[in-house]
Amino acid sequence: MTIWPNTVVNIPRMLPVFLIPVLALLLTVPAAAQDVPQDAVAEKKARTLIVGRVSGNPRKHASRLLALGEHIVASHSAFDHVEVILKPNPDDMVAAAQRGEIDIVSETLFTALKIEATGQMDMALLEWKENVRSYHSVLLVRADSPFQTLQDLRGARIAFEDPGSTSGFFLPYVEIMEAGLNMVPDGSGQAKPQHVRYLFGGAEINVVGSLIRGRVDAAAISNLDMDDDEVVTGRFGKELRVLHETRPVPRSVMLLRSSLPEPVRDELKAILMDLHQSDRGRSVLRKYFKIKQFEIMEADVRSEFDWVRNAFNTHHNP
């Protein structure tokens, strides 16, 4: 049996843990070492759709990407095979895109902009994730806080989620900077009295908790988290106040490799946009991270991205 590099193979759930590394080693033996003709390798590579994803849980997520990829391959004239490439963090995915290793990948806007900046992939479709087309960031303060506007944040400390988060970092960071304030990492030794210091708290509940406990003066989460009982509503609602809401951005986007031939790209987009029209397609979308549908980016949507790209180009290396 020929085993192709990067091909996803489901590992049996009952396989002893100590045998998994051995199986992984067997599955990554180079094709050349198995005497596979090089022209056959090249032909397979050319007709293989490579689906990427940032994931901290490969066992859970590989099957979701594989389901989407298999549906595309069954419907697309240019592909006969599918491979899944999972990366542990956004920077690794950006590097893979830079090397031209990914054909399609879904991402939130901030990471999507970093991928697009490589020049190897383009944002092609809007992705309704969990029935949400767009979302925005909410900057919270305690109910008794004296802060009323963004300008009042001079000298304050803010908790963000993580450096790769669109709603939990990028959007509020950009709008605070565009309000004329300067931001520096907390503890960097660079802060002056007029600077806004920021830190990362990780999970949304940790960010909100640090604000409730008075460790920071403000905290940023998404408007979707505001409706989550485990984060705000019903637990901390009366203790918090919304200081600022950012402009909305798409919840998620699908990027396609720029060097794919235009007919191949067009067929890919058509297949993805048609998924929500059939029972089978809707089943694939549900498995693929509870997506409602893919939507074409019209000219007005693309024009709205101008400010985001400009902000990204100015502020993406804080």
pLDDT digit string (tens) for 89-128? 999 999 999 999 999 999 998 899 999 999 999 999 999 9
Q: Which pLDDT score, from 0 to 100, does residue 35 have?
A: 60
> In sequence order, what DSSP letters do the residues of 75-111 get, joined into one string?
H-TT-SEEEEEEESSHHHHHHHHHTT--SEEEE-HHH
314 compared with 69, residue with greater pLDDT:
69
Q: Which pLDDT score, from 0 to 100, does residue 37 have?
A: 66
pLDDT digit string (tens) for 16-43? 444 434 433 333 334 444 565 666 556 6
Written as six digits, the tokens of 296 are 């074409």
pLDDT digit string (tens) for 231-255? 887 777 789 999 999 999 989 999 9
CA–CA dist 117, 94 (Å, integer): 9
Q: Which pLDDT score, from 0 to 100, does residue 148 have?
A: 96
Q: Please tell us whether the domain made up of 137-246 is placed in CATH 3.40.190.10.
A: yes
pTM, full prediction: 0.79
Q: Which pLDDT score, from 0 to 100, does residue 298 have?
A: 79
pLDDT digit string (tens) for 264-278? 999 999 999 999 999
Confirm whether 47-132+250-315 and 137-246 share one CATH topology: yes
CA–CA dist 34, 85 (Å, integer): 22
DSSP designation for 53: E
pLDDT digit string (tens) for 201-236? 989 999 999 999 999 999 999 999 998 888 887 777
314: pLDDT strictly greater than 90: no
CATH code linked to domain 47-132+250-315? 3.40.190.10
Pairing verdict, β 157-160 and 252-257: unpaired
Percent of the chain with pLDDT over 70: 85
- Give phi and psi for 157, each to the nearest 5: -115, 135
Q: Which pLDDT score, from 0 to 100, does residue 42 have?
A: 60
Q: Which pLDDT score, from 0 to 100, does residue 93 have?
A: 96
How much is the average pLDDT of 175-188?
Answer: 91
What average pLDDT is seen over the chain? 85
85: pLDDT strictly greater than 50: yes
Q: Which pLDDT score, from 0 to 100, does residue 22 have?
A: 40
Specify burial of residue 56 (Cβ count, 10 A radius: 0-12, 13-18, 19+). Answer: exposed
The full set of domain ranges for the chain reads 47-132+250-315, 137-246
